[in-house]
């Protein structure tokens, strides 16, 4: 059976640990300039419906470092479901490439793509999940804190795709998570329920609140994201009003642990969800987090193809 990564729920806690261990090893090899061409002769097909800086560069560079090759397919190249049906695209790509990464608007499209693909499909982002980001986040937290189990993460802002994946990923590995969202912007109930089910097995705690100060209280990690994501531009005015008290700033950080770290999946809207002094300050690990996208995704590719 072909293994895909469409959501963090596709991985077990032991598989997550194995990917993070592999990522740490590959990162060390790169820093020492040691060759690690584990995917020589392999090809990654990359489907993009949404523009990207981090996803494209990290996957393409990572595949090159692994000795493979990546092909960028722009929105106009495929037009999934319009120029050609999703099943037909999957069947075609399966004959040419060894693995597919897709960055799409709708999650059901990547589910359909995976259903008809005979090669692994990786979710590079959909409206519902962003598992590659969470693997990078967990790698970054483990690097800075030395562990994952028993830590507390505070999510401040929108219950979006990054929040969804973080909820699932954290609860799989035993990390406590407190999510602070305005009413009406909470993560979907089915994802919260799945996270709670994971937490029962791992010993993690899941908290949902509307109070950012409560979420941040005693937190090891504070995480935020933009208030208006791609495709939500028409809601911008309404969202800015709803999220005005959810900014990650120096005052909010005072409630967290003194050695807390601050994360953001980027791109950041400085002065909105996060202030300059925080994202550029001593608590920020945002650039390490961005770098780790590449290392985590390389490990994922190796796990799927070897």
> What residues are labeled active site?
103, 130, 133, 225, 265, 293
Q: Provide φ and ψ at 183, rounded to 5°.
A: -60, 135
Burial class (CB in 10 A: 0-12, 13-18, 19+), 40: exposed
Q: How far apart are CA 62 and CA 185, in angstroms?
A: 34
Cβ atoms 210, 157 nearer than 8 A: no
Q: How far apart are CA 38 and CA 1, in angstroms?
A: 22
Q: How far apart are CA 290 and CA 133, in angstroms?
A: 9
Contacts of residue 65, defined as CB under 8 A and 6 or more positions apart, other chains included, come to 30, 36, 37, 298
The sheet with strand 206-209 has its strands ordered as 206-209, 176-180, 152-156, 221-224, 261-264
């Amino acid at each position: 059976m072909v293994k895909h990564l469409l959501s963090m729920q596709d991985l077990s806690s032991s598989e997550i640990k194995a990917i993070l261990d592999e990522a740490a090893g590959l990162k060390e090899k790169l820093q020492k300039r040691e060759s690690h061409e584990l995917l020589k002769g392999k090809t990654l097909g990359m489907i993009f419906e949404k523009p990207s800086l981090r996803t494209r560069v990290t996957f393409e560079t990572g595949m090159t470092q692994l000795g493979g090759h990546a092909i960028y397919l722009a929105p106009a190249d495929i037009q999934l479901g319009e120029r050609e049906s999703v099943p037909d695209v999957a069947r075609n790509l399966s004959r040419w490439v060894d693995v597919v990464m897709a960055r799409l608007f709708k999650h059901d499209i990547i589910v359909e793509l995976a259903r008809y693909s005979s090669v692994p499909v990786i979710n590079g982002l959909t409206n519902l999940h962003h598992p590659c980001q969470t693997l990078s986040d967990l790698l970054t937290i483990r690097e800075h804190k030395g562990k994952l189990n028993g830590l507390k993460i505070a999510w401040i802002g929108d219950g979006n795709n990054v929040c969804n994946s973080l909820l699932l990923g954290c609860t799989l590995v035993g990390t406590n998570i407190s999510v602070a969202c305005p009413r009406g912007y909470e993560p979907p109930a089915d994802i919260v329920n799945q996270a709670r089910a994971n937490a029962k097995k791992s010993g993690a705690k899941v908290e949902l609140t509307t109070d950012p100060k409560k979420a941040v209280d005693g937190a090891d990690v504070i995480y935020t994201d933009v208030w208006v994501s791609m495709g939500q531009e028409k809601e911008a005015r309404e969202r800015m009003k709803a999220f005005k008290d959810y900014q990650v700033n120096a005052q909010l950080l005072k409630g967290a642990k003194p050695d807390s770290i601050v994360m953001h999946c980027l791109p950041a809207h400085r002065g909105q969800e996060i202030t300059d002094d925080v994202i550029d300050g001593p608590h920020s690990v945002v650039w390490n987090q961005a770098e780790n996208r590449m290392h985590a995704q390389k490990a994922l590719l190796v796990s799927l193809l070897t």
